Structures are given as structure tokens and as C-alpha cells.
């Protein structure tokens, strides 16, 4: 029989439009996933440390500085020193990784919303099987 009520038709149309917008967003979101550019898991930051040698400049407050990548591996945070001259390249790779992770989170949110809209649309379209009033003929 389908949707007959005008209000339900409008609601169904709005659900369909929302589903279409989300599908369009999915197509835009997945573009970065097709890239073959390398990524590095983690965050880049400057590490400042004291070495503990009494005559070192760090003992007077001028700490040793080093750029590192911090990433969790098997539940433990690992620090990896960035070789001199590779900071920009490593930062780009880390940025790409972080973007992929954000895209992944958004895709999960979008898919949950899409499923909700599809469930609502299905419920609006669902009909019960009519009960037959005739008794089946015996053979």
C-alpha cells in the first residue's frame, strides 16, 4: 500500500534527502583513503630533557631539545627521535595519519546515522501481511 498520509510522505522525503546527503559525504570522506602516500602513526612534539651530567649546560637550565614522534604501541608510549633534516617530511606523514583517523571516526558516525535513517524509512514502508479469510481447500 505504501505511504499514504501527507505528513508521512514529507517525513519520508526528508529522510531520503538526509540519507542522500550522508551518502554524498561518504564519497567525499573516502577520497584520502585512496592515497598511497606513506603515513606515520603518532604525534610530533619537542622533547626537552636533562642528561644529568653536572658540567652540562642543561644543569644550568638550558635543556637538551629534540623533535620526536610519540606513538602508542601495544599499550605503551614509544618515542622515536626524528633525524635532523627530516622534520617537515615526518610532520607531513603524521598529519596524513591523523587525517585518516579523523576520517575513519567521521565515517563511523555517518554510517550510524545512515542506518538510523534506513531503519526509519523501512518502518514507514512496512506493511503487515493481510490475513486471508478463506480457508484453504483440502485435496
In percent, the amount of the chain with pLDDT more than 90 equals: 73
Residue 6: is its pLDDT beyond 60? yes
pLDDT (tens digit per residue) in 12-33: 999 999 999 999 999 999 988 8
Which positions ≥6 away from 135 have C-beta within 8 Å? Answer: none
What is the pLDDT of the chain when averaged over all its residues?
91
Q: How far apart are the first and last CA of the chain?
A: 33
Domain ranges of the chain: 6-125
pTM, entire model: 0.74
In percent, the amount of the chain with pLDDT more than 70 equals: 95
Residue-level pLDDT at 132: 75
Amino acid at each position: 500500500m505504501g505511504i499514504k498520509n501527507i505528513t508521512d510522505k514529507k517525513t519520508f522525503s526528508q529522510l531520503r534527502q538526509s540519507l542522500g546527503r550522508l551518502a554524498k559525504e561518504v564519497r567525499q570522506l573516502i577520497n584520502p583513503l585512496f592515497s598511497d602516500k606513506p603515513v606515520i602513526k603518532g604525534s610530533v612534539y619537542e622533547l626537552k630533557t636533562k642528561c644529568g651530567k653536572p658540567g652540562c649546560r642543561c644543569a644550568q637550565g638550558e635543556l637538551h631539545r629534540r623533535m620526536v614522534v610519540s606513538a602508542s604501541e601495544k599499550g605503551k608510549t614509544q618515542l622515536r627521535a626524528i633525524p635532523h633534516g627530516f622534520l617537515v617530511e615526518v610532520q607531513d606523514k603524521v598529519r596524513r595519519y591523523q587525517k585518516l583517523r579523523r576520517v575513519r571516526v567521521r565515517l563511523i558516525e555517518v554510517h550510524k546515522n545512515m542506518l538510523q535513517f534506513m531503519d526509519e524509512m523501512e518502518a514507514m514502508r512496512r506493511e503487515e501481511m493481510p490475513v486471508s479469510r478463506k480457508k484453504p481447500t483440502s485435496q
